Homo-oligomer: A and B are copies of this chain.
Amino acid sequence: MATTIDDVARAAGVSTSTVSYVLSGKRPISAPTRQRVERAIRDLGYRPHAGARALASARTHVLGLMAPLRVDVNVNVIMQFVTGVVTAARSYDHDVLLLTADETAGLERVASGSMVDALVMMDVEADDPRVPVLVGLRQPAVLIGLPRDPEGLSCVDLDFEAAGRLAVRHLARLGHRRVALVGSPRAVLERHTSYAERMMRGFTAEAAEAGLAAVVEPCESSMAGAVGAVDRVLERLPDVTGVVVHNEVALPWVVATFADRGRHVPEDVSVVAVCPPDVAVGQPLPLTGVDIPAHAIGRVAVEMAMARVGHDEPAETRLLAPVLVERASTRPALR
């Protein structure tokens, strides 16, 4: 180890710049020279020193990822975002530096310290305090989620409003007239995590336009939370026949509680789950659902970030169109 580019140059009988150019491909190299250099690199097991490279080229080949590592929410979805980001980053020859969401200072640290070429930030809230920080940085940033004011920042997310509408439309088509949304925990709503609000807005608007009776209930991510939410729904809308669930953790308990209260899915109640496909399929009864394509969102975030390093393309916001997949949990309403 500790081989440097000069060692390689010497071994290959060329100058250091030639080695550099063989590596970067930024200028044409004759076949024989290239081969001698490549051979020397292999023989010596040479790897360029990342720090030296970053210093000289102002590119770190590292992507900063700020992820919420709390254990409370839907760990699964987070994991899928992360794998999406890491996989995509690798395909751009970048590694991923992991920052936790509780550390706003981390953004400045890694950005001002030139540790990263770009940043991706998950789990953005409407008035996220980290957003103004991001705006001031030299590196491009991509948000997963939608802040109230994305001034100059790129954003990606599922179009949750359309997702809410899509779910309701599906139920309406099946003839359901009384629908409920069992949603995110109250704390999430109060944090104004925008996806929860957008979901709710879409659900409510579409139900209104379709002339459906509709109720919305927040739901804690636990068995107890699910039981409570279901009971509140049944109290407010006793003859509910269509339910949209937007809470991965509560999902199985919601279905179980309805059954426990004598409303079986899908005979008595149709359920549309808004969650990653594997969660919907992994349930005892495969659930009709609007997919949250976490992996894809992560990948798109990276693509958008990479498109902006070096080039100064303008920021853009991309909302992915939701897709509903029919499985076993929805049926035409009984008349």
Q: Which residues of A contact B (CB under 8 A)?
A: 1-2, 45, 47-55, 60, 62, 65, 69, 71, 75-76, 78-80, 82-83, 86-87, 90, 95-100, 103, 106, 108-110, 112-115, 138, 222-223, 278, 282, 284
Contact = CB atoms under 8 A, between A and B. Distances in A.
Contacts of A278: 71
A87 B103 CA distance: 10
Contact of A55 (B55, B78, B95): B55
Contacts of A284: 223
A50 B54 contact: yes
Given A51-B50, A55-B55, A100 B114 contact: no
Contacts of A60: 50-51
Contact of A71 (B48, B76, B95): B76
Contacts of A80: 71
Contacts of A82: 69, 98
Contact of A79 (B50, B75, B83, B115): B75
A222 B282 contact: yes
A98 B86 contact: yes
Contacts of A110: 50, 95
Nearest to A100: B86
A222 B78 CA distance: 20
Contacts of A114: 47, 49-51
A122 B271 CA distance: 38
29 contacts: A1-B138, A45-B112, A47-B109, A47-B114, A49-B55, A49-B113, A50-B51, A50-B54, A50-B110, A50-B115, A51-B51, A51-B52, A51-B53, A51-B54, A51-B55, A69-B82, A69-B83, A71-B79, A71-B80, A75-B76, A79-B79, A86-B100, A87-B100, A90-B103, A95-B98, A95-B109, A95-B115, A98-B98, A223-B284
